[in-house]
Chain A
Amino acid sequence: MSRPVRFLVCLVVAGVFVLPLVAMVVIAFTPRDALLDGEASLWTGRWTLDNFRGLFDQFPVARWFGNALLVASLTTLLSVTVNLLGGYALAKLRFRGRGLVVLVVLATLVVPTQVIMIPQFELVARLGLVGFFWAVILPSASTALGLFLARQFFVGFPDELVEAARVDGCTTFQAFRRVVLPNARPLMAVMTLLAFMTQWNDFLWPLITLRDPDLYTLPVALRLLQTAYDNDYGGIMAMALLSSLPLLVMFVVLQRYFVAGITRSGIR
């Protein structure tokens, strides 16, 4: 394909891909009556902030935002910590039963979360966690994917560096902390982004376990709003935009890491 043709094709593709996002933004700023007229279109020429005002007037949006931030941050911190430790042990330390652990972790990768939700809920309920953020944080922090990513990264980590630290008198754990971790920043960035993104976007499990509107996270509230607002798309899209904004900003700022993450953490 010649360059102008490729450029044109890219232009069309980009147009198609950006359309849903444009729709979300435009509708979020379009007055309600302009939509319900049946004259649905991407350009009514009328702009308003009413959809956002309505949300902030009726709901504790700031609180939901804070809840989402807290839950996602704690989950990320916990899961990145345990996965770094575990991934390193699986990749670099020799012990009996390692093969079995790796196999079990791989098998749990294909467990659909919705399928184990009932026993998971019963468990969380018996532990007395329903109605607390821990009910979301603890099960969400235990994902096999993060552990697997960390292991893949550490497998490629040069043995010589670890050996050198040992010869210098470091214990296994000291070598991990002083030599391996400082060199694992790209991995940590990726794991942080992935964990945060996954948790921020989760709506079903928090909806089931949090129970109290004061505890809801933004995406949970969005799901409830959808059922309550029916086809008032202005309000829904305003909320959708609000809940997507942090990740969109994060993505644009940290784009390099997102891409590096996919390429360097061994997913491929």
Chain B
Amino acid sequence: MTAPVVEPPPPLVGTTGSRGQARVAWAMLAPNLLLLGVFLLGPLVWAFLMAFQEKRSFGGGTWSGLDNFARLLGDDVFWRALLNTAVFTAVTVPVGVLLGLGLALLMDKALPGRGVFRTIVYLPIVISSLVTSLIGLLLFDETVGIVNGVLADLGLGAVSWQSDGTLAMASVVVMTLWSRVGFSMVVYIAALQDVDPQVVEAARVDGATPWQTTRRVVVPLLRPTTFFLVLINLIWSFQVFDVVYVMTNGGPGYSTTMLVTYAYDEGFGPARNFGYGATVGVVLFVITVLLTVLQVRRNTRSEV
């Protein structure tokens, strides 16, 4: 009989130290980083370079220093686009988030047909921005549109949704809200499920009215959700493109021209000014990053 050989325990294969893990990590990230690097980061850096170039065709391009930026400062259309974008953002973000909150509170508690109501409000999420815009055209068309048709049936005059700048902006805002509010609502409904019912009950016992409970207890508890929704809506609004491009194409005049539609028009439109289009885009990107950082900062500071 041979003495039993005491074998050392097998090495734990998965815990081969941090260097082995790092290798696995990079291998798992590689396909993604390759795609992101080539098709997203590369073009982004390229766009930054183009902003300092006079470039009107593929391939070519000569360095022109700060010429594009100098032109930008004196470009009325650019300032108009910036103003329009700011107005559009200032309206759609608060209204969109508040409507989402209101609808979530409205549909949070038991109600006959609640499921159907919720589905109807967030159904537009799956409707593409292109179809949303086409429906917008159908609704707000000045001659054969449905809204004016209904107004006529009611004995009211036609409204110039397309030839009046302010009204054109309003129609774009309406369709944007239609497609977006459902998302805010779903996110708020989910967050409401995490609100501790005991806290709400305690407020009620202390004599708070339902409105006070909502205003002073529930809404403050939803802060992180509100922060997220404001941020994402801010980015969406600041970079609005599809709805404007299809519904108004920036018109009438420049009354609905936004930063992204302007950048796109300069690059892909008849102007074919790649360098200048990129300049507008770069400015837009920098503003978006600043807004995001500001919003994140404000949130973290007020949480301390």
Contacts and interface: CB of A to CB of B under 8 A. Distances in A.
A70 B187 CA distance: 31
A268 B187 contact: yes
Contact of B121 (A17, A38, A250): A17
A141 B210 CA distance: 47
A125 B58 contact: yes
| Main SS class of interface, A | helix
Interface string A102-129: 0011011111101111111111010000
| Main SS class of interface, B | helix
A191 interface: no
A233 interface: yes
A247 B26 CA distance: 35
B128 A170 contact: no
Interface string B287-303: 01100100000000000
Contacts of B106: 1, 6, 9-10, 13
Given A142-B39, A231-B144, A10 B28 contact: no
A203 B186 CA distance: 26
Nearest to A138: B39
Interface residues of A, number: 103
Interface string A225-252: 0100001010011001001100110111
Interface stretch (B63-71, B73-81, B146-154, B199-207): B146-154
B156 interface: no
Interface of B: 10, 12-15, 18, 20-22, 24-26, 28-29, 31-33, 35-36, 38-44, 46-47, 50, 58-59, 103, 106-107, 109, 111-114, 116-117, 119-132, 134-139, 141, 143-146, 148-150, 153, 175, 178, 182-183, 186-187, 190-191, 193, 210, 224-225, 228, 235, 239, 241-242, 245-246, 260, 263-264, 267-268, 274, 277-278, 281-282, 284-285, 288-289, 292
19 contacts: A20-B124, A42-B146, A110-B292, A111-B40, A111-B44, A115-B47, A115-B263, A115-B282, A115-B285, A116-B43, A119-B47, A123-B42, A142-B35, A142-B38, A166-B13, A170-B13, A226-B246, A233-B141, A240-B135
